[in-house]
Structure 1
Amino acid sequence: MAATVGALATPALLLDKDRLDRNLDRLSSRMAARDVVLRPHMKTAKSIDVARRAHRSGPGPITVSTLAEAEYFARHGFRDMTYAVGLAPHAAERAVRLQKAGIDLKVLLDSPEQGMLLGVAGHAAGVTPSAFIEIDCDGHRGGLTATDPKLIAVAAALAEAGVKLAGVLTHAGESYSLCTPEALVAAAENERAAAVATAATLRTAGHACPIVSVGSTPTAHFADDLTGITEMRAGVYMFFDLVMHGVGVCTTDDIAISVLATVIGTKAAKGWILVDAGWMALSRDRGTAAQRVDQGYGLVCDLSGKIYPDLIVAQASQEHGILAIRSGSAQALPDLSIGAKVRILPNHACATASQHELYNVVSAGSDAIEARWPRMRGW
Structure 2
Amino acid sequence: MSSKPSSVVDALATRQTPELILDEGRMLRNVDRLRAHLEPLGVTLRPHMKTAKSIEVARRVLTGGAGPATVSTLKEAEELFAAGVTDILYAVGIAPHRLPRVQALRAAGCDLSVVLDSLEQAEAVVAASANAPIPALLEIDCDGHRSGLKPRDPAIVEIGHALVRGGAHLRGVLTHAGESYTARSESELVAFAELERSAAVDAAGLLRQAGLPCPTVSVGSTPTAHYARNLDGVTEVRAGVYVFFDLVMAGIGVCQIEDIALSVSTTVIGHQPDKGWVIVDAGWMALSSDRGTASQAVNQFGGVVCDAAGKPYPDLLLIQANQEHGIVAVRPGSGARLPPLPVGTVLRILPVHACATAAQFDAYAVLPATGGPLQSWPRFRGW
Answer yes or no: same fold by TM over 0.5: yes
Aligned mates of 2:300, 2:168 — CA distance in 1? 46
Deviates further, 151-160 or 211-220: 151-160
Counterpart Cα distance in 1 of 2:236 and 2:96: 27
Deviations 1:282-336 (A, max 9, x none): 0111101111111111100001111011111000010000001111101011110
Contact 1:63 1:84 in 2 (8 A): yes
* 1:282 correspondence with 2:287: yes
Instruction: Tell me the distance in 1 between the aligned counterparts of 2:369 and 2:134.
Output: 45
Match 1:110 to one of 117, 123, 126: 117
Q: Which amino acid aligns with 2:202?
A: A
User: Which residue number in structure 2 is paired with residue 212 of structure 1?
Assistant: 217
Task: Write the deviation string for residues 90-128 of structure 1: whole angstroms up to 9, x where unpaired.
Answer: 1112112111111100100001111111111121xx211
**Secondary structure at the counterpart of residue 191 of structure 1:** helix
Residue identity matched to 2:54: S
Q: Is the 8 A contact 1:267 1:273 kept in 2?
A: yes
Whichever residue aligns with residue 74 of structure 1, its letter is F
Contact persistence 1:128–1:164 (CA under 8 A): yes
Change (3 A) 1:116 1:32: same
Letter in 1 for 2:246: D
What is aligned with 2:83?
76
Alpha-carbon shift at residue 3 of structure 1 (Å): 8.6
- Tell me the distance in 2 between the aligned counterparts of 1:363 and 1:289: 33
Tell me, which stretches of 5 or more residues in structure 2 are unaligned?
Answer: 1-8
Matched, 1:63 2:70: yes
Counterpart check, 1:183 vs 2:188: yes
Q: Counterpart amino acid of 2:15? A: L
Contact 2:219 2:234 in 1 (8 A): yes
Q: CA deviation at 1:364?
A: 6.8
SS at structure 1 position matched to 2:282 = coil
Q: Deviations over 1:121-140 (max 9, x none)?
A: 121xx211000000000000
| Per-residue Cα deviation, 1:194-249 (whole angstroms, up to 9, x for no partner) | 00111011100111100000000000000010111100000000000000000000
Q: State the distance in 2 between where 1:248 and 1:365 align.
A: 28
Aligned to 2:143: 138
Match of 1:372 in 2: 376
SS in 2 for 1:288: coil
**What secondary structure is seen at the aligned counterpart in 1 of 2:294?**
helix
Give the alignment partner of residue 54 of structure 1, picking from 48, 61, 65. 61
Are the aligned partners of 1:5 and 1:369 in contact in 2 as well (CA < 8 Å)? no
Aligned counterpart in structure 2 of residue 233 of structure 1, from 232, 238, 262:
238
The 1-side partners of 2:297 and 2:331 are apart by 13
Does residue 316 of the first structure (1) align with residue 321 of the second (2)? yes
The normalised TM-score by structure 1 is 0.97
CA contact (8 A) 2:362 2:378 kept: yes
Does structure 1 conserve the Cα–Cα contact (< 8 Å) formed by 2:278 and 2:328? yes
TM-score, normalised by the number of residues in structure 2: 0.96
Counterpart-to-counterpart distance in 1, 2:202 and 2:245:
31
Q: How well do the aligned residues superpose, as a CA RMSD in angstroms? A: 1.4
Matches within 5 A, 1:228-307: 228-307=233-312
1:362 alignment partner, one of 342, 367, 376: 367
For 2:346 and 2:325, the matched residues in 1 are separated by 14
Aligned partners of 1:304 and 1:365 also within 8 Å: no
Structure 2: which amino acid aligns with 1:340? Answer: T
Identity %: 55
1:174 match: 179
- Code of the residue aligned with 2:286 in structure 1: it is A
Kindly tell me the number of residue pairs found equivalent between the two proteins. 375
Residue of structure 1 equivalent to 2:6: none
Question: CA 1:75–1:364 in structure 2 vs 1: closer, same or farther (change >3 Å)?
Answer: closer
Mapping of residues 117-136 of structure 1, within 5 Å: 117-123=124-130, 126-136=131-141
1:101 aligns with 2:108: yes
**Cα distance per residue 1:58-113 (max 9 Å; x no partner):** 31200000001000101000000000000111111211211111110010000111
Q: State the 1:160 CA deviation.
A: 2.3
Question: Do 1:63 and 1:81's aligned partners in 2 also have CA atoms closer than 8 Å?
Answer: yes
Which SS does the other structure have where 1:166 is aligned? strand
CA distance in 2, matches of 1:88, 1:269: 54
Q: Is the 8 A contact 1:276 1:320 kept in 2?
A: yes
Q: Which moved more, 1:47-56 or 1:311-320?
A: 47-56
C-alpha displacement of 1:57: 2.7
Corresponding residue number in structure 2 for 1:197? 202
- Is residue 280–residue 326 contact of structure 2 (8 Å, CA) maintained in 1? yes
> What are structure 1's unaligned runs of at least 5 residues?
none
The alignment status of 1:4 with 2:11, answered yes or no, reads yes
Q: Does residue 39 of the first structure (1) align with residue 46 of the second (2)?
A: yes
- CA offset at residue 365 of structure 1? 10
CA contact (8 A) 2:17 2:265 kept: yes
2:365–2:375 Cα contact (<8 Å) kept: yes
Q: Distance in 1 between matches of 2:366 and 2:96?
A: 39
Which amino acid is 1:189 matched to?
Answer: E
Q: Select the residue among 24, 31, 34 that pairs with 1:27.
A: 34
Secondary structure, aligned partner of 1:187: helix
SS of equivalent residue, structure 1 residue 336: coil
Query: Contact 1:93/1:118 (CA < 8 Å) preserved in 2?
Result: no
In the alignment, which residue of structure 2 is the partner of 1:334?
Answer: 339
